[in-house]
Amino acid sequence: MRKKTYAMRYVAGQPAERIFPPGALLHMGKALPPGAPLTTHSTLRVLVWNIFKQQRAEWLSVLQNFGKDAQLVLLQEAQTTPELIHFATSNYLAADQVPAFVLPQHPSGVMTLAAAHPVYCYPLREREPLLRLAKSALVTAYPLPDGKMLMVVNIHAVNFSLGIDVYSKQLGPIGEQIMHHKGPVIMAGDFNAWSRQRINALYAFAHNMGLHEVNFTDDHRRKAFGRPLDFVFYRDMGVAEASVLVTRASDHNPLLVEFKP
């Protein structure tokens, strides 16, 4: 029997809460009533980073320097260590993590830190066919100042698989969420798109969902077999600025994007 997928929510001053997938999708009115919007500024700053389970020094200073001004931080391979939870709950209203697999002490998986409480939270997991470890994804939604709802997809794609069947299978339920959402979307993370088959599948998926890719002029994204692994896609928004931060604090470089909602 497969383990039930859930997200863990961390909020300052409250015990961690287990969040299970809602019974219906966002467009069917299964969201909570919206609270304060994600941003009150004319721009929305987003940091995307595979944090390598916080195995290297300086990860916290990178987050403190570049994450604290962002309204959204999308982490992959985030281990729920006390240091990360403290950073998340001190600087953000809510942090949601989908445990992909449990390490000796702390679960690791995608984690979304946000300056507003999510009104919708849909955790997803997909098992690696060869290693039998799981990768996770998280779909959340936040109110924007104009009354629209921003859907945010944080994904760590399966890595070791023959062909693209499992890769496409992981994108399937995410596509169902995006397809039915009427409003802006940000989809970002570590897509492990290291083969021609994978990159073609990813671009076809983005095209079908009406998503545009964020381009980086000075592109220092982590590559495998000459192809970047980390991407940011968006819909119904504009890009004001996009950069890749070069650091040794992880085996991936963080992506920083400023959107105009």
In degrees, rounded to 5, the angle at the alpha carbon of residue 26 between the alpha carbons of residues 22 and 30 is 55
Neighbours of 183 (CB within 10 A): 17
Contacts 24+ apart (CB under 8 A), 14-22: 19/96, 19/121, 19/123, 20/123, 21/122, 21/123, 21/124, 22/120, 22/121, 22/122
pLDDT at position 202 is 96
Torsion of CA 94, 97, 103, 104, to 10 degrees: 30
Q: What is the pLDDT of residues 10-59, one digit of tens each?
A: 999 999 999 999 988 887 766 777 788 999 888 999 999 999 999 999 99
What is the rounded distance in angstroms from the CA atom of residue 53 to the CA atom of residue 75?
A: 10
pLDDT at position 163 is 65
3-state secondary structure of 168: helix
List 99's β-bridge partners, or say none: 109
pLDDT at position 1 is 31
**pTM of this prediction?**
0.94
Neighbours of 256 (CB within 10 A): 21
Q: What is the rounded end-to-end Cα distance, in angstroms, of the chain?
A: 42
pLDDT at position 107 is 87
Q: What is the pLDDT of residues 64-88, one digit of tens each?
A: 998 878 999 999 999 999 999 999 9
- Average pLDDT of the chain? 90
Type of residue at 156 = H
User: Residue 211 has which token pair?
Assistant: 């998503």
Q: What is the pLDDT of residues 131-183, one digit of tens each?
A: 556 788 999 999 999 999 999 999 999 776 666 888 888 999 999 999 999 99
Q: What is the pLDDT of residues 231-249, one digit of tens each?
A: 999 999 999 999 999 999 9
